[in-house]
């Protein structure tokens, strides 16, 4: 009896061991992909697509048509104004990375929300602006965003952009997707000549995608030092900041918007105690303004999309310019983390 009991116990123990071993070797189940959808009408969809595509957490931006009753309309039909549709974009995004509120912030900074007859040189109901909400939560956030925009006193007239229920979306023809990239010169000329670019510059000082965020919300997002530097033009202590002596490969992005600004390939030791670079990844991502607040006249550098104070630029760098920045304005993403952080297209910068 004792021998049988021992044999049964041994078999049970062996079975339990193999079960635990199998569990230990089992691959973890991948997390399901979370995809949110947002739909905006902002006049010509060529101009909305690049601004939203650049945002970290945005998976895809599709130009198309929304708001009308005609199924599968063509570009010619919609632009003729007879379908009830408006030119629009649909955004697929990861809500764990970028919020719907952030997408609204960017949308407002691409349009004239006081124009009820179209947008800039594009006239007609097919170019009127709208936020098409997909659920009650989006409706509430959109309406709150409209109120906040009106309270900002940025515009003389009332905000007329409609917040209306989403009823459907039809993707535009293939030649309209990525138009700003595939037809760069034509797109840039159109955006300038239409008046949109000048309007954005005069209204927002070039900070096209800077968040329209209440100060208390931004304070919760940033550390006290980050807020002081980016929003109050402060300067951190030299040699006692996060990145002045960082020698790892990777990108330096705007701490507010996540826009890529500088590469470690262009970083050098200036001896000043602040992170210094010879050039930005894209000059258009920066704004330079005269800074007369100090003893000597300097040129301030700000991020275009996040409208964050970064530091100053001087003409004494090893190859010309020296961008002397505050670590508090930046977030560093190591080379090995670029893919998982959504910056995979920049990996090639660091390939030998």
Residue 47 catalytic? no
Degrees to nearest 5, angle at CA 257 with 151 and 250: 170
Q: Point out the catalytic residue in the list 38, 41, 44, 104.
A: 44
Type and span of the H or E element at 174: none
Q: Which two tokens stand for residue 31?
A: 């997390």
Look at the block and give the residue holding tokens 């189940």.
Answer: 29
CB-based contacts of 232, cutoff 8 Å, min separation 6: 309
Q: Point out the catalytic residue in the list 324, 325, 328, 338.
A: 324
Separation between Cα atoms, residue 85 and residue 77, nearest integer Å: 9
Residue 44 catalytic? yes
| Spatial CA neighbour of 287 closest among 271, 299, 274 | 299
Residues annotated as catalytic are 44, 324
């Amino acid at each position: 009896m004792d021998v049988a009991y021992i044999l049964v116990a041994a078999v049970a123990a062996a079975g339990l061991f193999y079960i635990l071993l199998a569990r230990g070797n089992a691959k973890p189940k991948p997390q399901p992909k979370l995809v949110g959808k947002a739909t905006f009408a902002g006049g010509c969809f060529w101009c909305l697509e690049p601004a939203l595509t650049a945002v970290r957490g945005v998976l895809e931006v599709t130009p198309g048509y929304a708001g009308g009753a005609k199924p599968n309309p063509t570009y010619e039909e919609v632009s003729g104004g007879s379908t009830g549709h408006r030119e629009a974009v649909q955004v697929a995004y990861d809500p764990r990375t970028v919020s719907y509120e952030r997408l609204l912030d960017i949308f407002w900074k691409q349009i004239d929300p006081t124009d009820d007859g179209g947008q800039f040189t594009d006239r007609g109901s097919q170019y009127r602006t709208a936020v098409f909400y997909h659920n009650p939560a989006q409706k509430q956030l959109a309406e709150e965003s409209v109120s906040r925009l009106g309270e900002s006193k940025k515009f003389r007239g009332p905000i007329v952009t409609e917040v209306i229920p989403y009823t459907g979306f039809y993707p535009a023809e293939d030649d309209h997707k990525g138009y700003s990239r595939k037809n760069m010169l034509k797109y840039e000329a159109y955006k300038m000549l239409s008046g949109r670019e000048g309007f954005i510059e005069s209204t927002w000082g070039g900070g096209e995608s800077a968040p329209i965020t209440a100060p208390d919300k931004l304070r919760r997002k940033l550390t006290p030092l980050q807020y002081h530097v980016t929003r109050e033009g402060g300067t951190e202590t030299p040699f006692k900041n996060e990145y002045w002596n960082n020698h790892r490969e990777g990108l330096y992005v705007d701490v507010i918007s996540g826009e890529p600004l500088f590469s470690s390939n262009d970083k050098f030791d200036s001896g000043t105690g602040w992170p210094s670079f010879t050039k930005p990844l894209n000059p258009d991502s920066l704004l330079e303004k005269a800074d007369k607040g100090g003893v000597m006249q300097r040129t301030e550098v700000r991020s275009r999309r996040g409208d964050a104070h970064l530091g100053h630029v001087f003409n004494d760098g090893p190859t010309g310019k020296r961008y002397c920045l505050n670590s508090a304005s930046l977030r560093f993403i190591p080379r090995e983390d670029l893919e998982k952080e959504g910056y995979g297209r920049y990996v090639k910068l660091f390939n030998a």
